[in-house]
């Protein structure tokens, strides 16, 4: 039973399409602690540029 589930999991994993991406990291010194963003989309656009 466990082997069958493991095989199904591996089959599912292998059938997924892995899209390329990039990692965006903030400079810890540039983060304003306690500052909230009401508009998430605007916040992300400001970070990604």
pLDDT in tens, 1-49: 899 999 999 999 889 877 777 777 777 777 666 766 667 777 778 777 6
pLDDT value at residue 36: 67
pLDDT value at residue 41: 77
What is Dmax (Cα atoms) for the chain?
A: 51
Name the token pair of 8: 């199904």
Four-residue CA torsion sign, 7, 21, 45, 28: positive
Q: Are 39 and 33 in contact (CB under 8 A)?
A: no
- How far is C-alpha 49 from the geometric centre of its chain's CA atoms? 18
For the entire predicted model, the pTM comes to 0.35
Please enumerate in sequence order all residues whose Cβ is within 8 A of that of 24, keeping only pairs 6 or more positions apart, or say none: 47, 48
């Amino acid at each position: 039973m466990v082997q069958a589930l493991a095989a199904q999991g591996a089959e599912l994993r292998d059938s997924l399409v892995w899209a390329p991406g990039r990692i965006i990291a903030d400079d810890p010194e540039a983060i304003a602690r306690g500052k909230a963003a009401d508009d998430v989309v605007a916040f992300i656009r400001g970070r990604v540029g």
